[in-house]
Amino acid sequence: MTTEQLRGNIRVIEDFPVKGIHFQDVTTLFVNPECLRELSDRLVELYKDKGITKIVGLESRGFIMGAILAERLGAGFVPARKKGKLPGEKISETYELEYGTDTIEMHLGSICEDDVVLVHDDLLATGGTMAAACRLVGKMSPKKIYGNVLINLTACPRVPVFPEDLELTSIIDIDID
């Protein structure tokens, strides 16, 4: 399956969640078993030799491929959830969205110094969510942090707060404003 075929399976919803946003709905990729398999295979190929021990999946669509990838790589899965969704002791990070602010949380101690972590989400627009997740993971001092998204909206202006050594990959690049 080609990248163009994957791109053709993404549904665009105009003016969601607010006017002016061209929401890239990845759930239509997940409904198609060939797309789901292709995404999974591509992610495994990217990370099979990186020594990944934990996958941090960002709420909520990052949970889907993040959990699949964790199982295929023999790694643990750590959910990064919106504020107030996790019980127990947690750490948090607040960040800016294209249309407001949000906070993500992870359980304290879910990442250790020996871990090599892949932070995974469905989409990269301004980068605020990914940057916040990387800062959050970085508070637990793992050996290395990688970042991955299914869709990279290349025309969006980025926040300048990614860790300098972050290797960030995407499966599908889309050039829209």
Residues designated as active site: 61, 98
Residue-level length of the chain: 177
Taking a C-beta distance cutoff of 8 angstroms, is the pair 58, 121 a contact? yes
Structure tokens at 24: 């890239």
Q: How far apart are CA 92 and CA 69, in angstroms?
A: 24
B/e letters for 95-109, b = 16+ CB within 10 Å, e = fewer, are bbeeeeebebbbbee
